[in-house]
Amino acid sequence: MNTINIRKFGLAVGLTWALLYLGCAIVMMTVGREGTVLFFNSLLHGLDTAPIIRMGVPFYEFCIGLVESFILGWLVGACVAGIYNFSMAKK
């Protein structure tokens, strides 16, 4: 039976989440508030994001969010791989 390397899968998911976070920041920097609201409203099936969009995010908060996104993504990826490996071992 095949197993998933927990560390590598966690790294892949963590980096993917960090890239998504970075992409969000790039959208916010390039299209402004109205473009950001339009983008996320369409992405979230018309949910009005205007009241929760905050454009003046300090650089240190951006860095903290990037690191947090990576850590959470790594933990989710490691959990998925661990659960998958555990379920495959039982069969």
Domain ranges of the chain: 6-29+55-89
pTM of the prediction?
0.85
**pLDDT tens, the chain, 91 aa long:** 689 999 999 999 999 999 999 999 999 999 999 999 999 999 999 899 999 999 999 999 999 999 999 999 999 999 999 999 999 886 6
Q: Pick the closest to residue 65 from 16, 18, 32, 13 (CA basis).
A: 18
At residue 2, the pLDDT reads 86
Contact 10, 78 (CB under 8 A): yes
At residue 89, the pLDDT reads 80
At residue 46, the pLDDT reads 84
At residue 62, the pLDDT reads 96
At residue 1, the pLDDT reads 64
Residues 6 or more apart whose CB falls under 8 angstroms from that of 38 comprise: 31
Distance of CA 4 to the CA centre of its chain: 21
